[in-house]
Amino acid sequence: MRDEGAKRILVTGGAGFLGSHLCERLLAEGHDVLCVDNFFTGTRRNVVHLLGDPHFELLRHDVTFPLYVEVDEIYNLACPASPVHYQHDPVQTTKTSVIGAINMLGLAKRLRARILQASTSEVYGDPEIHPQTEGYWGNVNPIGFRSCYDEGKRCAETLFFDYRRQHQLETKVIRIFNTFGPRMHPNDGRVVSNLIMQALRAEDITLYGNGEQTRSFCYVDDLVEGMVRMMGTGPDVTGPINIGNPVESTIRELADTIIDLTGSASKLVYHPLPPDDPRQRRPDIGMARKVLGWEPRVALREGLMRTIAYFENVLAGRP
Ligand code: NAD
Ligand code: UDP
Ligand code: UDP
């Protein structure tokens, strides 16, 4: 028997970067966790330390197929997140976002379970307003290389709100801004993992475009805290709510910080900017502050130091 208040919680994409940290957190709170993942970008290695826990279960399953399990809450994170990964098989990316959302909402409807969608700042596309507030409808190219992810995630949000209106489901949507930390895939092509790996290997550091585009980087522990707080809100809180760190930096500043922290001899080299790459991104987190009492606590340098230590272990072959 579990403690009173313990729930059975499904985390889709639970063997990925964010999902593995969320599973850890939920187990630490005394819940039973069912981690579902098809290992497209996630790995068993990310959750291997949890496998001995009797309250943890790992199931290989693709969310584009129906899933019949019994749980109280669902965090829907299954979807590749790095542009390199989600553009590898764009049709599958759209299927994962849209059909995956339908299946998980169907599951939530049968169980009357509360369900949270991990949406993204990419729903704002290349934003024309800055910082981005939840009321902004976005500037998204519907037919470009990023569209499978952006439009897939937008459609998933639509489904969450329509299941709520049509079937009275308790749905919640958070929009996650660039998040980094240990267990990012070293070869996922995202800027933090790329630049740290390059710095540690003393390879050239690749800046796309002129490096003046901006992002706002949130440390994973802060993100997980925001996600759990959102799930804990009352039935009237639907979101979407931005979760991210409002401290904005250019990609060149990020590179300089990583070189500084690693003491690397790497040099900066410039590559063409990928198509539709957003020029600027920063969350307005006023709503998260007000509704969730949440704001990030880990500063970029501190988060980068922890992430660099993780990648040093990866390179040294240490578990
Ligand atoms: P990730 O690639 O590490 O994790 C995604 C996980 O989903 C992987 O374990 C992958 O194997 C799994 N997956 C993919 N397709 C699946 C399918 N069809 N069925 C079952 N599992 C599947 O990425 P992440 O950074 O941990 O992102 C997790 C979620 O958060 C994603 O939904 C992503 O869109 C969202 N998000 C992340 C960020 C970020 O900066 N990390 C930003 C915005 C949104
Ligand atoms: N579904 C699932 N698990 C369940 C219930 C439903 O995977 O426990 C899937 C099923 O594939 C279904 C989808 O969720 O097609 C949507 O369910 P919903 O009840 O909304 O629609 P319908 O069953 O009418 O297609
Ligand atoms: N980027 C870069 N060098 C790299 C990888 C990415 O300059 O080696 C840039 C990329 O063009 C984008 C920013 O860094 O402007 C963030 O890229 P990432 O793929 O991490 O996330 P997203 O574009 O989805 O925010």
Tens digits of residue pLDDT in 292-304 = 999 999 999 999 9
Give the model's pLDDT for residue 233.
98
Enter the CATH code of domain 8-181+218-245+282-297.
3.40.50.720
Question: Looking at this protein, which amino acid is placed at residue 61?
Answer: H
Token readout for 55 is 């309250």
CA of 17 to the centre of ligand 1 (A): 7
Q: How many CB atoms lie within 10 A of CB 55?
A: 15
Token readout for 305 is 């130091």
Tens digits of residue pLDDT in 227-276 = 999 999 999 999 999 999 999 999 999 999 999 999 999 999 999 999 99
Tens digits of residue pLDDT in 41-86 = 999 999 999 999 999 999 999 999 999 999 999 999 999 999 999 9
Read off the pLDDT of each residue in 88-104 and give the average, rounded to a whole number.
Answer: 98
Yes or no: say if 179 and 219 are a contact pair by the CB < 8 Å rule: yes
CA of 294 to the centre of ligand 2 (A): 34
Which residues sit with their C-beta closer than 6 Å to ligand 1?
12-13, 15-19, 37-42, 62-64, 77-81, 85, 96, 100, 118, 120, 176, 178-179
Quick one: which of 168, 42, 39 has its CA closest to 105? 168
Dihedrals phi, psi of 97, to nearest 5 degrees: -65, -45
Q: Tell me, using a 6 A CB cutoff, whether residue 67 lines ligand 2.
A: yes
Token pair 């660039």: residue: 178
Q: pLDDT band for position 4 (50/70/90)?
A: confident
Q: Where in the chain are the domains?
A: 8-181+218-245+282-297
Q: Tell me, using a 6 A CB cutoff, whether residue 135 lines ligand 2.
A: no
Which one from 149, 163, 219, 310 is the annotated catalytic residue? 149
Tens digits of residue pLDDT in 147-189 = 999 999 999 999 999 999 999 999 999 999 999 999 999 999 9
Cα 69 from Cα 61, distance rounded (Å): 12
Q: Which of 18, 153, 281 to mutate to test the pocket of ligand 1 (most atoms within 8 A of CB)?
A: 18
Tens digits of residue pLDDT in 110-157 = 999 999 999 999 999 999 999 999 999 999 999 999 999 999 999 999
Q: pLDDT band for position 3 (50/70/90)?
A: confident
DSSP state letter for 78: -
Q: What percent of the chain has pLDDT over 90?
A: 97
Alpha-carbon 125 to chain mean position: 16
Q: Which of 77, 146, 230 to mutate to test the pocket of ligand 1 (most atoms within 8 A of CB)?
A: 77
CA of 122 to the centre of ligand 3 (A): 13
Q: Tell me, using a 6 A CB cutoff, whether residue 106 lines ligand 2.
A: yes
Cis, bond preceding 127 (omega within 30 deg of 0): no
| 318 pLDDT above the threshold of 90 | no
| 1 pLDDT above the threshold of 60 | no
Cα 316 from Cα 11, distance rounded (Å): 30
Give the model's pLDDT for residue 2.
64
Determine whether 149 is an active site residue.
yes
Atom of ligand 1 nearest to the CA of 15: 9
**Mean confidence (pLDDT) of the chain:** 97
Task: Please tell me the number of the ligand nearest to residue 37's CA.
Answer: 1
CA of 78 to the centre of ligand 1 (A): 5
